[in-house]
Amino acid sequence: MVEDLLASSPGLLNFGIFFLLATVLLLVILGFVTYAILAERKVMGFMQLRQGPNQVGGRWGLLQTVADVLKLLIKEDTIPKAADKPLFILAPVIAFAPAFMVVAVIPFTDKLQFADIGVGLLYYIAISGLSTVGIVAGGWASNNKYALLGGMRAAAQMISYEIPLVMSVLGVILLAGSLNLNDIVDAQSNGWFILKQPIGFIIFLIASIAELNRTPFDLPEAESELVAGFHVEYSGFRWAFFMLSEYVYLFAMASLTTVLFLGGWGPLPFMDFIPGAVWFSLKFSLIVFLLIWVRVTLPRMRADQLMEFGWKVLLPVALANIFLTALLKELVDFM
Amino acid sequence: MSLSGEMIAFIMLSLVAIIGGILLINLTKVVHMVIALVFTFVSVAGLYVLLSAEFLAAVQILIYSGAITIIMLFGIMLTRHNDSNEKTAGLWRKLMLFAGIAGFGLAVYAGIYNLDIPVQETKLHEDNTRQIGMALYSDHIIPFELTSVLLLAALIGAIILAKKDDEEKEGEE
């Protein structure tokens, strides 16, 4: 269905259909974010021998996040007097828009995808880099020392870890021979890339946690050092936008990991009677759980350790992985 | 010239690119200028997409989003925040400047209006990532390698410069 739409001629009707589909996707993602936050708090609670939210909305706290969002919506919206007003307003928008834009290229099943771009993977990485600009701008516009420090850390961290992220994906690109995410999923029909690229997967996972600004790499918003990091001065709905972009990136990054390393919507052998969408959501949930697990169990790194780890460990290992992959690929082809 | 979707997209993207450029020159605060620059670069990437050069568009954003963030950091660290540009030009100079710009505009318009670019059948837009890779690693391999050596030299140079500063500081203390 979507393929026909993508190939159809442009017109007002098609524009309307796309607009509607995008709105539906946005609502689905908002739903995901609502329950991802709840899941995170619940899992975190159980892992730390607590209950987690259990008051609002029954025993499982199912309406807790909804109540939180309502609270944020009716909260007073404060802008500090000394802040750089236009930039302060613009920054959450710059941070959020790319987060939603990257979701467009992710193939959820072989039929459900919003944009089939030849350079899909590159598009994802390029667009997600734009969020950093929003975060730094927000940190600067707040006119607050802690916010500025958080913004600076965010810039340093996200640029440093983007390089191992790209390098670890190069192994997958070498094996699949394409930057298109659909082709990458197709190339995994006889063996997921997590088996052929174990080193690449580990590097990708670490670098993606750093890109997502989650513990152990959550230095830009380290509560014990910077109060709240780049969004200290934000309140109400603007603050919600920063949080929203963070969780939408969680959604997008978990989907990307599924597509790149876990075979996307592809089933396990002999189990292809289960539809692709179910497979995708199972693998996706597994990755989200893994990310929450890492967040709960590991302490925060120090800023200099973070930089050293990125440049002196991850980058050389990623380069070695590319070299090894290319060598093995040539040898296998040769034999 | 019909008003197709492509035309509308082109007009919007070029407007954003030009407005971003003008704001970059006219705004007074460094960080605002950098944000204007972001808009210009992103809409130039959009223009590449319209020309079906999707690889170029993605790389444009990939490289410049990192570069812009770095420019922003330097802008924050190396400039005085309350600094604003001083107005220097007098009326006479402004008039001369306007005449120059108008002359340039007229010359370009006259040159471009009747320019006839023969349309060739090309296959450059199909699978252009592969084509760029092929061209880089076959026909243009020597310039490509030279560029990488140049970048490596720049990288090492930067490291040496940064290192020297450290040692001098340690000596002073």
Q: Cβ contact (<8 Å) for B38 and A129? A: no
Q: How far apart are CA A8 and CA A6, in angstroms?
A: 6
CB of A117 closer than 8 Å to CB of B128:
no
Q: Does any CB of chain B come closer than 8 Å to the CB of residue A315?
A: no
CA distances from A313 to A129, A200, A257, A304, A307 (A): 22, 13, 21, 13, 10
Enumerate residues 87 to 116 of chain B having a beta carbon within 8 A of any beta carbon in chain A: none
Q: Which residues of A touch B129 (CB under 8 A)?
A: 118-119, 179
CA distances from A287 to A122, A175, A256, B81, B86 (A): 21, 22, 10, 44, 55
CB of B93 closer than 8 Å to CB of B99:
no
- Predicted TM-score of the model (pTM): 0.81
Q: Which of A86, A126, A140 sits opposite B76 (nearest CB)?
A: A140
Q: Cβ contact (<8 Å) for A84 and B73? A: no
Q: Cβ contact (<8 Å) for A155 and B69? A: yes
Distance from the Cα of B66 to chain A's closest Cα (Å) equals 6
Q: Cβ contact (<8 Å) for B72 and A136? A: yes
pLDDT of residue B149: 93
Structure tokens given for A332: 């296998």
Q: How far apart are CA A82 and CA A182, in angstroms?
A: 49
Q: How far apart are CA B101 and CA B129, in angstroms?
A: 39
pLDDT of B2 above 70: no
Q: Cβ contact (<8 Å) for B38 and A87? A: no
pLDDT of B83 above 60: no
Q: Cβ contact (<8 Å) for B69 and A179? A: no
pLDDT of residue A4: 61
pLDDT of residue B173: 46
Q: How far apart are CA A54 and CA A61, in angstroms?
A: 4
B23 exposure class (CB count in 10 Å sphere: 0-12, 13-18, 19+):
middle
Hey, is A267 helix, strand or coil? coil
Q: Cβ contact (<8 Å) for B127 and A118? A: yes
Structure tokens given for B140: 């243009």
Q: CA triplet A295, A296, A300: central angle to 5 degrees?
A: 60
pLDDT of B100 above 90: yes
CB of B14 closer than 8 Å to CB of B45:
no
Could you tell me which chain A residue has the CA closest to the CA of B73?
A152
Q: Which of A10, A90, A133 sits opposite B68 (nearest CB)?
A: A133
Q: Does any CB of chain A come closer than 8 Å to the CB of residue B32?
A: yes
Q: Which residues of A touch B158 (CB under 8 A)?
A: none
pLDDT of residue B169: 58
Could you list the pLDDT tens digit for every one of the 335 residues in chain A?
A: 555 655 666 667 777 887 888 888 888 888 888 888 888 888 888 888 888 787 777 778 788 888 888 888 888 888 888 778 888 888 888 888 888 888 888 888 777 777 777 788 888 888 888 888 888 888 888 888 888 888 888 888 888 888 888 888 888 888 888 888 888 888 887 778 887 888 888 999 988 888 888 878 887 777 777 777 788 888 878 888 888 888 888 888 888 888 888 887 877 777 777 777 888 888 888 888 888 888 888 888 887 888 888 888 888 998 898 888 888 888 887 66
Distance from the Cα of B84 to chain A's closest Cα (Å) equals 15
Q: What is the largest CA-CA distance in chain B?
A: 71
Q: How far apart are CA A330 and CA A324, in angstroms?
A: 10
Could you tell me which chain A residue has the CA closest to the CA of B58?
A123
What does the DSSP assignment read for A56-96?
A: TTTTTTTTHHHHHHHHHHHS-----TTS-HHHHHHHHHHHH
Q: How far apart are CA B42 and CA B13, in angstroms?
A: 9
Mean pLDDT within B112-116: 78
ipTM value of the model? 0.75
Nearest-CA neighbor of A67 among A38, A97, A109?
A: A38
Give the start-to-end residue ranges of the domains of chain B: 1-82, 127-173
Distance from the Cα of B109 to chain A's closest Cα (Å) equals 32
A172 exposure class (CB count in 10 Å sphere: 0-12, 13-18, 19+):
buried
Q: Cβ contact (<8 Å) for A137 and B31? A: yes
Q: Cβ contact (<8 Å) for B62 and A152? A: no
**What string of H, E and C letters represents the secondary structure of B73-129?**
HHHHHHCCCCCCCCCCCCHHHHHHHHHHHHHHHHHHHHHHHCCCCCCCCCCCCCCHH
Q: Which residues of A touch B23 (CB under 8 A)?
A: none
CB of A47 closer than 8 Å to CB of A297:
yes
Q: How far apart are CA A170 and CA A162, in angstroms?
A: 13
CA distances from B43 to A3, B17, B25 (A): 26, 6, 17
pLDDT digits (tens, 9 = 90+) for B141-172: 888 889 999 999 998 998 888 887 666 555 55
CA distances from B166 to B73, B169, B172 (A): 20, 5, 10
Place of tokens 């929450």: A292
pLDDT of B99 above 90: yes
Q: What is the largest CA-CA distance in chain A?
A: 70
Q: Cβ contact (<8 Å) for B65 and A126? A: yes
Q: How far apart are CA B70 and CA A130, in angstroms?
A: 12
CATH of domain B1-82: 1.20.120.1200
